[in-house]
Amino acid sequence: MRLELKLNKASTLINFLKRFDSIDNALLLEITDGKLLAKSHTPERSVVKYSSLQLDEVFSEYSDVKDDIKFGIMSLKKFMDSCKFFGETDFEMNIEYDKLGGELVGTMITLKNSSLNIELPCGAMKHFTQITSDVL
């Protein structure tokens, strides 16, 4: 299965991800209710940092998202640097995902335009602490 997104504001996405870059190099993201969500424990694990971004603030086109999708980025710096290769031009961000344990989980992120194609594997869910709404 594939979620197809057209990224038109890479700088907005990069600034969103920079909020978490100082906490950890890896980040679990969720697409739910028309939003991109990120939650992460601080290094002391005493506080949870949470932030969300409306999908239409970053993407000009996105296929119908009916179910929640989780995907892990193992290297925020590598992902942000990959987005910078495209400059301020529009490009596609496709997320391939599978059903795993009753959840839709990302397996591969592809960033591409007519002249460049970058594939980044998603991190396995076992590498991330999933923070539930109750804990938040």
Tally of CB atoms within 10 A around 9: 16
Residue 64 has pLDDT above 90, yes or no: no
Distance of alpha carbon 49 from alpha carbon 58, whole angstroms: 21
∠ at Cα 58 (54, 60), nearest 5°? 105
Q: Where does the pLDDT of residue 15 fall: very low under 50, low under 70, confident under 90, or very high at 90 and above? A: very high
Region 61-81: what's the mean pLDDT?
Answer: 90
| Mean pLDDT of the 21-32 span | 92
- Determine the structural domain holding residue 90 and report its residue range: 2-127
Q: Is residue 135 part of a domain?
A: no
Which pLDDT score, from 0 to 100, does residue 134 have?
Answer: 57
**pLDDT for 84-112, tens place per residue?**
999 889 999 999 999 998 999 999 999 99
**Which conformational region is residue 45 in: left (phi greater than 0), alpha (psi within -120 to 50 degrees), or beta?**
left
How far, rounded to the nearest angstrom, does the alpha carbon of residue 13 sit from its chain's CA centroid?
Answer: 9
Domains: count for the chain:
1
CATH of the domain at 34: 3.10.150.10
**Which has more confidence, 5 or 65?**
5
Confirm whether 80 is domain-assigned.
yes
In a domain, 136, yes or no: no
pLDDT band at 136 (very low <50, low <70, confident <90, very high): very low
Identify the sign of the CA torsion 22, 129, 7, 93: positive
- Residue 45, pLDDT score: 66
Report if residue 57 sits inside a domain. yes
Domain contains 133: no
| Residue 60 domain flag | yes
Whether residue 49 contacts residue 18, with contact meaning beta carbons closer than 8 Å, is answered with no
User: What value does the mean pLDDT take over residues 15-24?
Assistant: 92
Report the predicted TM-score, pTM, of the whole model to 2 decimal places. 0.90
Question: For residue 129, what pLDDT band results from cuts at 50, 70 and 90?
Answer: confident
Q: Is residue 98 part of a domain?
A: yes
For residue 110, is it within any domain?
yes
Cα 131 to Cα 5, 13, 38, 134: the distances in Å are 25, 21, 10, 8
